[in-house]
Amino acid sequence: MDTIIFLLIGGTLLAMRGPRRWLTLALFFTALVATVLLFNHHVTSSLPLNF
């Protein structure tokens, strides 16, 4: 999952050099949503700690 996010961020950086602004925004917001979903998954999972 992290690899997909890094590829989206890299694609966003490459798309910034091109003339299509909509592609840059679409890649950015897709990466942002994927990052927030991954963060939400990790925050809500419980740690099985036994002391």
Kindly tell me the burial class for residue 30, based on how many C-beta atoms sit within 10 Å of its own C-beta (0-12, 13-18, 19 or more): middle
pLDDT in tens, 15-25: 999 999 999 99
Query: Is 28 domain-assigned?
Result: yes
Question: Quick one: which of 38, 39, 9 has its CA closest to 24?
Answer: 9
Mean pLDDT value of segment 1-21: 94
Position 48 pLDDT exceeds 90: no
Q: What CA–CA distances, in Å, run from 27 to 4, 9, 20, 30, 51?
A: 11, 7, 11, 5, 44
Quote the domain boundaries for residue 21. Answer: 2-39
Query: Is 47 domain-assigned?
Result: no
Verdict on whether the full-model pTM lies above 0.85:
no
Residue 30: band (very low, low, confident or very high) from pLDDT cuts 50, 70, 90: very high
Number of domain units in the chain: 1
Q: What is the C-alpha separation between 9 and 39, in angstroms, rounded?
A: 16
Query: Is 27 domain-assigned?
Result: yes
Residue 46: band (very low, low, confident or very high) from pLDDT cuts 50, 70, 90: confident
Query: Is 45 domain-assigned?
Result: no
